[in-house]
Structures are given as C-alpha cells and as structure tokens.
Structure 1
Amino acid sequence: MLNANFFMQRLTVAISIVLYSGSSMADIQQDTSHHLVPIVLTAEKGNEANGLVVVKDPKQPIQPIPAIDGASYLQSIMGFNAVKSSGLANSDVTFRGMFGSRIKMLTNGSENLGACGGRMDSPTSYISPESFDKITVVKGPEIVRFANPGSAATVMFERDAVHLPEGKNIEGQASTVVGSFGRWDHNLDLTMGDSTKYLRVNANRSVSNDYKDGQGHNVHSNWEKWNTDISAGWTPDEDTWIEAIAGKADGEAAYAGRGMDGTKFGRESLGLHLQKKNINTFIQKIDAQVNYNFNDHIMDNYRMRPVKGMKMLSNVARETLNSRLEFTTIWTDRFTVLTGVDSQHNTHTSRGGLNYASIPRQKDMTFESYGAFAEGRYQLTDHQKIVSGARFDAVQVQDFRAKTQAFNQTRNTILPSGFLRLESQYPELNTNTYIGIGHVQRMPDYWEIFSPMSMATNGLKDVFNRVKPEKTTQIDLGYQYKHGALSHWVSAYVGQVNDFILMRYAPNRSVMNVNARIAGGEFGVDYAFTDHLQADVSGMYAWGENTTNRTALPQIAPFEARVNLNYVTEKYSLGALWRLVYAQHRYRENEGNVVGYDLGSSRGFGVLSINGTYQITTDMSLALGIDNVLNRNYTEHLNKLGAASAGNIGTEQINNIGRNYWAHLQVKF
C-alpha cells in the first residue's frame, strides 16, 4: 500500500513532469466534432441510449473547480444538485429532488455505504472522481441489474480493464490542482505490466483551507482527504479478465452547517472481479465479483473548531459485503438477455466518548438482501428495440438496539422492481427517442429507520416497523436531435410515489409515509456558429407534491439554467459559463428527508465563471479557471441549516464560495 504522505509533498508537479514521455497521446475523447482540444466540461454532452444514459470522462477538468468528491462532480450533470454541509467537500448529492438511497451509487459495480446517522460521510464522500475511467448515469427506474435499485437514478463510477500495448510496460497520467484558499490536489493513475498482466495504482490527496464567501466572511470548510487503490489484473486473452483490488482512504472535513466535524473518513476495500466473454454461441459473457468495504467514521466538536461546552465524539462504522453473478446470453440475432443473482450484507456499529478506542463496537443493525434479475433487449426493426427488466429482492433488516427501548426486532419483505422501454431511431429526422415505464419498491434505509431523527415519531418508538417501503412508478421519455451545427435533447419524467418517506424536523419530529407526485426534466441546446465558436444552453426543473396533505414536497431545488460559450483552436480553448438559478417559492417549512429540510423560500442568483485550456505538448495540458468572477454572495436552496441528525433547525444558510482561482495541470505518459 502506498504511503499517503507521498501525496503530501508539493513535488508532485515535478514528479508529473518527470513521468512525462514523448510517446503519442491516447485518443482524447471529444464532446463534439467541433472540439479540437480537451476543454473544461461545463455542460452535459455524450448522451447514450437516446438521452436516457449520460456518460462522462471524469479525468477531464470541469467548472466549477475540479471535483474533490463524487457529489461535487455530479453537479456538472443536468438533474443533479447537492445539499451543502460546508464548502466543496462532502455534500450530499440529489437527483431530480430525490435523495439518499433513492439514488443508487456504485463504484466498480459495488456499493460502499456511509455510516453516519446524519450522512456526514455520504457514499459520494468516499469517491475520488478522477481516479475512475468513466461515470455512467441511468436516469429513473430504468435498470434492475443492481441490488435494491434506485428509483431516481443509478450512478456508476467505473474503471476499465487495462490492456497495455505490446512493448509498452508503463502508462498512465498524473495531475495537480492548485486553487484559492489553499486548495492543492495531487492525482496519480499509474499502470505497470505487459500485454497480459498489470498492476494499477490510483492515488490522490486533496487539501483546502476555509474559504471566504462573496462578502469576505470566513466559512468553516477546510478539509484534508486521501485515497489509494491498487489493482492487479490478468488478461491472458482478449476474452478473459481477472482483477483483484485493495484500497484504503482517510480524511477529515469541517462542516459549517453541523454541530460537529468529520475527523475520520476511513475506508478499507477488497474486491475480486472475473469476466469471461464469447464462451459459446449462446453465452456471450459471464461476470462475477465480490467486494468488501469497511467505513470507519468519527465526528467530534473539538479537533477542528473551538470547543464550546462539553467535548463530544461519536464513532460509527459499517461493513458491507456485495456479491454478484451475471450472465449475458444471445437467444437470436435480435434477442439478448442478461440474467443474474446478487446479494448484500451490511452491519452497522457505533460507540462514543473520548475514550472510544477502548470501548467495544456495539452492533445496532444488519441489512441483508438477496436478489435475482433479468434484462432483455429485443430488436423489433433496424431502428427500434424494446428493453425490459424485472427483479425481486428478499430483504431482512434486524434491529439490535436494547430490548428495553422496544427495539430488537426483525423485518422481512420481498420487493419487486421492473421496467419496459421502447427506443427508436429516425435517421431521416436525425432524431432518437425513448419512452419507458418503471416501478421500484424501496426498503427504508438505515437513515430512515435507525438514525437519531427516527428515534421518536409523535412520541412513539416503533418507527422501525411502522415506516412502509416506498413504491415509485415513473414514466421516462425523451429525445436527441443532431444535424449539422445544431443539436438538442430533452429528458422528462412524471411519477407517482406511494408511501413516500417524509421527515419532519423540530419542533415536531416524525418520520411518516405520504403519497406524492413528481415531475420534471432536463434539456440542452448546442449550436456551432463556426468550426471554432460554439454555444450551448441547458436547464433542469423538478417538481413534487405531497398529495396526502396537498403541500409541496420539501428539499427540491428550483429551476436552473446554464449558458456556455466556447472558442476552441488546435492549441487552446476559452470558455465562459453563466449559471442562473431561479428563486424557489415551493417549500414546506421544517420538512425534509434524511439529508436536509426546508427553512423557507430562497432567492435566485446568477454566477459567471470563465476558463481556458492550453495544449502544452501532445501529452501535457493546462486548464485555468476563475469561478464566480464577480464575487457574488449567494446561497443554494438546498443547504444544511444546523445539526440535522439532532433534529435542530438552524437560523443561517451557508454562503457559497466567493471568487475562486484554480489551475489544473495534467500529464499523460
């Protein structure tokens, strides 16, 4: 395992340059045919499956400043927002107004769950985007391949098998980010081996001081984080891939909107992946994997802030074991089926006090699921196909808290999910379309039936049994058009959620089921004025209503639009991004979910940012940016307002970062 201190040295830039070689650069992924050099990503492009699926290259810089974790990267994709707990680090991602386990978050096909009852260590806080090769987002309940599927979206951070060319024994890339307020990142992706075997190291470290908002006020938001993953792979032929992976990470982050800070974000991971393709004319591929993750999280109120009152510390942990076996079979030249089974077992423990290390961990929850699924694709015509899937999950959740608290109970249930979708191509119209309907039943997660918010519901202690599984039925539809200099796309949805899990915060804390309707969508328009000048406009809107009480669903971000202008040549590019966010007047005071809650309405704002890139050599590029050029002082509607896990209501929203300068240097070798 690499020593994390290596990434604390500011000689990383020099090391990156030393690693630079004159070999030819790998093909650079381009968003459109007009882009001649890699540009700073600011808009959603590269959609697949007629707009339903979005694919991103996380190794390219984005604006605002290159991402520190999964949530900060996903906000560059239309439909995603995040609940701010402090600054850029460790926000909790949302999609189309939905939060928590409604979004399935996967790394290399495995789920790595956080442990904090207040989601201080959300799943995305353990993800370093630039260490992955690809990010794939499937919108809506339109995939059933993974356990306990997400109703809002499925997000996959993935690394590909490595195939070093004959005669080349080392390749990779290194990058560094330098920015305002002491931001300093180091990233290394290094592969050594030959054409049949490899050893790959993905390592990174990021630090930042507190930032200042647009009025020059200091915001408690500093962090220090590092991640290291080492994988060993064997590809004896083009149809076989075996990979073992081990990882370790840790860090700390200050939270302006919490009563405590996160002073440990420990991660330990092990995994084994086997893949065999083209077995015979019927079995096209077999995939098998098993992954173990251990998250060890500490929060306290004294290490990263002045002590006020009594010192407090809590240590929580979660072990997660995922396994899956998947077969891809070819029935006819028009009909393929993907079938499989999977399982997940996770255990949550906790302990507290300043002498926590000498106290045994106390198990309070186990969560087990066993699932079976099938997805089929049938080519109706040369330009139309039907995609359909179904799965069943048998779930058991057990409460191990003290019997004297009326806990220590077990829940068992079987949850069905499925979808049916038609995808069409109209070459004469330069248009692709999709329309699908999906249904997902979701077991209440740890945060909804075990966290401190769930400890009392109108004086009752039986939240564990009373909160019902959530049932979402949703229609997704959209299109993509591209012809000449013009392209545009739309993704839209409308859904009914029965037994939507809603939380009420202080003064009337409760967790309950209501019925709800949801609707909204995303759009984008792109036009190339010349071979060098391009503009695009994109936007997103989400709407929700609690139909049981005839009130707005809480914690839904307002309409947002992004206007982007790029000028691109063979050696450099210049860009400007104008982010426009409308006021949000649909809210429900003191109501929310496991992540946050509404305080009231919010004001609209606009933020202008600029960027540029320069291709120094074939394999070396430099990206520069200024975020919030006009130094606007503004807050997001989704915003932590106090110690949510204690059921408190805050009085101040957290201001976003003011003017922010950054540079991103990347070397490929």
Structure 2
Amino acid sequence: MRLSALSLAISSLLAAPCLLAQEQADQLGEIQVEGVAETTPAVTRTPVGDTSQGLPVDGGDFLRDINGVSGIRMGGHGIDPVIRGQSQNRLNILLDGAYIHGGCPNRMDPPTAYSAMESYDSVTVIKGSQTVIYGGGGSGGTVLFERKPPRFEAGKSYLGQVDAGYKSNSKTKEFSADVAAGSETGYIRGVVGYKDADNYEDGDGNEVRSAYENQSGNLLLGYTPDKDRRLELNIEATREDDTLYAGAGMDSPMSDADNIRFKYEQSDGLGPFAGVKAEIYSSQVDHLMDNFSLRELTAPMLMSVPTTSDTTGGRIFGDIMVGGSNLTLGIDFQNNERDADRFSGMPMMAEPTTLQSIMWPGAELDQTGLFAELAMPVGNENMLKLGLRYDRVDASISRGDEKPDLGPSPTPNNLYAAYYAETSDEQTENNLGGFVHYEHALGDDSLFAGFSRSVRTADATERYLAGFARNMMTGMDSSWVGNPELEPEKHHQLEVGYKWKNAAINTDVTLYYNDVSDYILRDKARGQDGILVANGTANIYRNVDAEFYGIEWQAGYQLSNALQANASLAYVRAENSTDDRPIAQIAPLEATIGLDYSSGDWELGGTLRANAKQSRADLENGSGQDAQETPGWGVLDLYGTYAMTKNSSIRFGVDNLLDKSFAYHVNRANVDPFNPEAIQVNEPGREIWLKGTLQF
C-alpha cells in the first residue's frame, strides 16, 4: 500500500510557514516502557533537548553521546548506530513503536535516518538482550524513540514550541515547531521540521561530501474517552533530498518515507489482564541513489539504483498481576518486502536504462513472535526477571530467476549458485530465545547479573543481495552476493553489573561476555568453506563463530550545589574465533570527562571525548570492512544554555573546539572525489552552534 494521500497531507504541513518542534518533557504526560528496569546500568533513558546534546543531525548522531554506543558515518546524514560492537539488525530500533527498514543495501539510510528528533521526547537504550517484548534478535540492544501524549495545563487547551538553530561549519539551518490542542477527551498535534546542510570541512580544512536537505512532518490524533483508555493515529512523512556521501560511490537524490501508526492503550483491565496495549504500523520507503546527478562522474558508466522497502507489523500484549509479580504476554508480527534494481548506461546518456543487476529480487521476510516476560520480587531486596520468546521466520524471493538486460549479468539464483552452490528456496526458521535477570538491592545500591539467548535471523541483504559486477579487462568479479543458506545467529550473553551512590558520588559498572554461534560475517570471497569463488574481490556472507566481551563504566561527582564532574569509559573486544582474526567495525577504548555548572538561568559545561588507537583492525586477509588501524584522538566540546524568560531559552556551544582532524574507527572508507587521499570519512572540524527555543 502506498500512502500517497497521507503524503499529500503531510506535505501540506511541510509547506506551512511555521515549522514546528516538540514539547518539553515537563509539558507532556508520562508513558511506561514495559519490561525495562530503570535501575539497571545497562538501561539509559535520555530526554531530547538536553544542554550538552548540541544539534544532532538524526537519531544515530544523538545516540553517539551515550556511553557504549558508537555510530558509523558515511556522510553528513544517516549515522548508523553501533552498541557493544553490534549494528544493523542486531539492534531492534523502534520509532514510536514501529519498525522501519531503509531502502539502501549499503545503509545510506538506516532506521535512525528517519528519526526526526524534533518530534521525540526521549530515547531509551536497553543494551544487550534484556527484554523480549520489542522483537526477535536484538542481541546488541533495543532502542526506543518515544513520543508522549500532550498534557495541558488547567484552563489551557493548547501548547507549543518553536525552535531555530544554526551550525557554522556545515552552514546547517534548522527550524521546527510543535503545536497541540485538545481537552480531556482528545487532542491533535502537529510537528514539522526542516534541515538544510552544506558540505562541512574536517580539522585539516578538507571539504567532506556531507550536504543534505531533510523535511519531516507528523500529524497525531488522539482520543481519550477516560483516564484509562487512549487511541492514537499518527501519520508521518520524511523527505530527504540531495544527500551526499563521502563514504560511498553514489549519492541519494531522493529518499522518502511514509509511516502510519495506530495505538490503543487500556490500563483499567480487560479480562484477566490488568492492562493491554496494541500497536499497528505501516512504513514505506522509496530510495534512489546514483553516481552522476549530484557529483562529477568518475566511473566508466552511469549507475542508478531505485529501491523500495515496505514494512507492516504490529503487536498486542497485556499484563497479568499474579500476587506481587507482573506477567506480560504478547504476540507480534512483522513483514518486510524489498526490491532494488541497478541500471547502467553510457556516460553520454541522460539516464541509465539497462537493467544490470536485480539487487533485491523481491525479497520478503515474515516474522511472527510469541513472548512472555515475568517480573517477580524475591523477598524485600531482590527482583527476578524472566523472558521467553519464540519466533517463526519465513523468507523468500519472487524474482530469483529473472534475467537482467545486460548480457553477462546472471539471474539472482545463478549468482547464488556460482558462489555457494545453492539457489534460493523458501526458508523457514523456528527460533527460541529468552533471558534470566536477577537484581539485588544493597540499600541505595544494587547488584545485578543476567544470562540471555537471542537468535537473529539474516536480513534481506545478507540472504538475497544479487549485485553483479565484472571487470571486462581482467574478467574478475567484484560482485556483492547474499547467501540464502545462512544459519541464524545464536547469541549467548552473560552480564554482571554494580550501581553505587551516596550524597555526592554515583557510579556504575557493567561487564559482559557474548558467545556467538553462526555469526553472519560479511567477507571477501577467498574460497573459504562453502565459498566456490576465490578471487578475493567479491563480497559474500558466511557463518563463523565469534566472541564479544567488554566493560562499561560511568560516574558522577557533585562537587558543589552548582558544579558536577562526570566521566565514562567503554571498551569492547570482538574476535572471529573460526578464523582467529578480529571482527571488523569495532570501536576502540572510548572515554569522556566532563564538567557541568548550573545556577539560576545559566547552564554551562564541557566534555573531553577521546578514543584510543584501534590496532585490532580486520586488515590482513580481512573482510574489507575496516579501512585502517585508526589513530587515537581527543576533542573538546563546550556548551551552555541561558533561560531568557520562563518560556524562552537559547542553547549554544562549540564542537571540536581545537579543530582536530579525526575519525571514528567505525566510519566508512572515504571515496570522496574532493579528498581522495583520506582513508576514512573524517568528522567535522570546529563547529559553532546556536539554537533558540520559544514555548507558548
């Protein structure tokens, strides 16, 4: 289903002269996140709009500020989050309860690219596998971008907020506004946002392809017949235009997402349930990338790849109170359909018209899950949590035997057979996962331990990608080929942690170990077990065994009523134990040290961010996903807020004050024609930012 009518409705919002942002947290109602223990160090809930957050470009950029979370940069937009060394669909990322899967096989547009931060109130990160409510897999963690229903003051039936911001380096201009009106029986809320960014310069003054334009709009209609029931319809549209990527051989002239969500909540009980919640959603993405419309052609042929990714799903679950225990029972469903074609043409043509590869050949994944989660107090000082989840997965393609127009290009099934000796049949999996989590209170402190098993199915790219490329001079293939015979990943994680605080100090530490069977590795084809091709240029997928282990620590010290110091540390080590080599795209030791001052109308602070050198890169006979061993670095950020009146404030700051040239190890390799000597996509150099807020 295409949401053309809905898109027109949102487009009219986008054209409005006033551009809207979200209400502050103190103006909005609370919403419960089921299955989350807020006392656990591995769970972080962060309100949107804090002083230290700067002006994040999207949700992935926002998440980088959370300890233990990294982000992969390919350009100025679409930061792809990494939690404890795991990324892509090893993370369950839900945008207001809905899944959305991007339209780019190369992940120009991860789910967080469609997270318009002006429309969200908070973000919850659940690291590791500590809940079964939000979908199968999620071995790296679950991220919930959350919106709250508006709460109106007595005698006032409306509220709103308007924001305007600017960043100097990239000349980013952003505007947003959020208005709501309603009564005890219902509400209407509209949120629109606009961002326009040019290319930024890194710390050496090199221009990095990173420009983008983004527009977003939300229309929310709520019905609250009483305090215990709420129905909400949410229609959302996102438009990304002229997005440039230094870390890719293509740019994206257009990427559109249309979403519709319906929610029902009842807290006064229904049958045996103390409360129930139901959610239904539909997300459609249309994405286009090419190598000629937004850049000078440097390849021998024109290439364009139009894609679609459509996701529908929902969940229903309820709570049953058994004595002092809470049992959550539910069922969820998700269907994702993806199509992608690559067209080629001669440089003198206006548009490429020859179908060269069927990248996603009508790939379809269905996943139906049953889950149960129990929270049970044990005595006065202990809490036991148990979770169990079953998922049935059905995967198939509809265009496996379709032949592209270009003579030497094989069908997708022929391509799979050439690399794996297998063609694609419909695949079915029955996956079982769960967790045990135990917390022991020690006065104001707490100790916890947990063990989990989570099973992550291969996504459409890993299973079915069928990108064919051959060098006609050498006859060597540089294809990118999914593996229909991949086994699902099985993660077995052990985690322990401690949280301690007194009047002046609070600190917590978490250690974890993850043993993975059948880890899905993107690799170069070198004739490994089950791989028929051995030329080392094609990208393939195969199962290996792997280990992840690490530590996360953070602390705060209240130096005075107005002054607080804070620090954090995160480290993860990952090993491909089958081949005795590092897993690629793993962040090195990361640390922060900060100081915050708050008094009256002023909030001021600074943070030193640092990464150690990453010498554990997957380079020798490697997968091709690591660009290099990345040097260590440290950068200083300053920030502040001044409350001009009760309803207006200004936030300001300088990111990378000393104008350092640096890159996160997980950033993509640079294929920027402006800067061909760079090894990785560098982060921005010094950037001054400013944001004004007016509430009414």
**Same fold at TM > 0.5:** yes
Corresponding letter in the other structure for 1:553 = I
Query: What is the SS of the residue equivalent to 2:62?
Result: helix
Partner of 1:385: 383
Q: Distance in 1 between matches of 2:373 and 2:352?
A: 47
1:323 aligns with 2:351: no
Partner of 1:637: 665
Query: What is the SS of the residue equivalent to 2:274?
Result: strand
How far residue 102 of structure 1 moved from its aligned partner, in angstroms, is 0.5
How far residue 80 of structure 1 moved from its aligned partner, in angstroms, is 0.9
Partner of 1:43: none
Q: Distance in 2 between matches of 1:160 and 1:668?
A: 17
Query: Per-residue CA shift, 1:257-285, capped at 9, x if unaligned?
Result: 11101121201111211111122694211
TM-score, scaled relative to structure 1: 0.89
How far residue 219 of structure 1 moved from its aligned partner, in angstroms, is 0.9
Equivalent pair of 1:315/1:352 in contact (CA under 8 Å)? yes
Alignment equivalent of 2:514, drawn from 477, 480, 495: 495
Alignment equivalent of 1:287, drawn from 273, 277, 301: 277
How far residue 173 of structure 1 moved from its aligned partner, in angstroms, is 1.8
Query: Per-residue CA shift, 1:431-456, capped at 9, x if unaligned?
Result: 12221111011111112122357999
- Counterpart mapping for 1:9-20 below 5 A: none
Partner of 1:545: 575
Partner of 1:299: 289
- Counterpart mapping for 1:262-661 below 5 A: 262-279=252-269, 282-308=272-298, 309-332=300-323, 334-353=324-343, 364-403=362-401, 404=411, 405-406=413-414, 407-427=423-443, 430-452=444-466, 463-505=482-524, 507=537, 509-589=539-619, 597-641=625-669, 652-661=679-688
Equivalent pair of 1:504/1:591 in contact (CA under 8 Å)? no
Equivalent pair of 1:173/1:188 in contact (CA under 8 Å)? yes
Equivalent pair of 2:627/2:679 in contact (CA under 8 Å)? no
Alignment CA distance shift 1:68-1:4 (3 Å): farther
Q: Distance in 2 between matches of 1:151 and 1:303?
A: 39
Query: What is the SS of the residue equivalent to 1:448?
Result: helix
TM-score, scaled relative to structure 2: 0.85
Corresponding letter in the other structure for 1:657 = P
How far residue 507 of structure 1 moved from its aligned partner, in angstroms, is 2.7
Q: Distance in 2 between matches of 1:140 and 1:357?
A: 45
Partner of 2:251: 261
Query: What is the SS of the residue equivalent to 1:283?
Result: coil
Alignment CA distance shift 1:511-1:26 (3 Å): closer
How far residue 510 of structure 1 moved from its aligned partner, in angstroms, is 2.7
How far residue 389 of structure 1 moved from its aligned partner, in angstroms, is 0.6
Equivalent pair of 2:60/2:79 in contact (CA under 8 Å)? yes
Corresponding letter in the other structure for 1:107 = L
Higher relative contact order (CA 8 A, sep 6+): 1
How far residue 163 of structure 1 moved from its aligned partner, in angstroms, is 3.5
Partner of 2:419: none
Unaligned ranges ≥5, structure 1: 30-45
Equivalent pair of 1:315/1:356 in contact (CA under 8 Å)? no
1:248 aligns with 2:237: yes
- Bigger mean CA offset, 478-487 vs 557-566: 478-487
1:662 aligns with 2:662: no
Alignment CA distance shift 1:613-1:2 (3 Å): farther
1:117 aligns with 2:105: yes
Partner of 2:62: 73
Alignment CA distance shift 1:165-1:313 (3 Å): same
Alignment CA distance shift 1:384-1:128 (3 Å): same
Q: Distance in 1 between matches of 2:611 and 2:375?
A: 39
Query: What is the SS of the residue equivalent to 1:531?
Result: coil
Equivalent pair of 1:611/1:626 in contact (CA under 8 Å)? yes
Query: Per-residue CA shift, 1:529-551, capped at 9, x if unaligned?
Result: 11111111111111111111222
Alignment CA distance shift 1:590-1:116 (3 Å): farther
Corresponding letter in the other structure for 2:132 = V
Equivalent pair of 2:609/2:636 in contact (CA under 8 Å)? yes
How far residue 49 of structure 1 moved from its aligned partner, in angstroms, is 2.8
Corresponding letter in the other structure for 2:502 = H
Query: What is the SS of the residue equivalent to 2:214?
Result: strand
Corresponding letter in the other structure for 1:68 = V
Q: Distance in 2 between matches of 1:638 and 1:25?
A: 33
Q: Distance in 2 between matches of 1:618 and 1:314?
A: 50
Equivalent pair of 2:465/2:480 in contact (CA under 8 Å)? no
Partner of 2:119: 131
Q: Distance in 2 between matches of 1:67 and 1:436?
A: 33
How far residue 629 of structure 1 moved from its aligned partner, in angstroms, is 0.8
How far residue 408 of structure 1 moved from its aligned partner, in angstroms, is 4.6
Equivalent pair of 1:2/1:228 in contact (CA under 8 Å)? no
Query: What is the SS of the residue equivalent to 1:449?
Result: helix
Q: Distance in 2 between matches of 1:328 and 1:240?
A: 15
Corresponding letter in the other structure for 2:446 = N
Equivalent pair of 1:163/1:195 in contact (CA under 8 Å)? no
Corresponding letter in the other structure for 2:684 = I
For these two proteins, the number of residue pairs brought into alignment is: 635
Query: What is the SS of the residue equivalent to 2:86?
Result: coil
Query: Per-residue CA shift, 1:602-627, capped at 9, x if unaligned?
Result: 10011011111101111211111011
Equivalent pair of 1:140/1:152 in contact (CA under 8 Å)? yes
Alignment equivalent of 1:95, drawn from 75, 83, 91: 83
Corresponding letter in the other structure for 1:336 = N
Alignment CA distance shift 1:482-1:146 (3 Å): same
Corresponding letter in the other structure for 1:415 = N
How far residue 148 of structure 1 moved from its aligned partner, in angstroms, is 2.0
Partner of 2:195: 206
- Alpha-carbon RMSD across the aligned residues, in angstroms, is 3.1
How far residue 666 of structure 1 moved from its aligned partner, in angstroms, is 1.6
- Counterpart mapping for 1:55-74 below 5 A: 55-63=45-53, 65-74=54-63
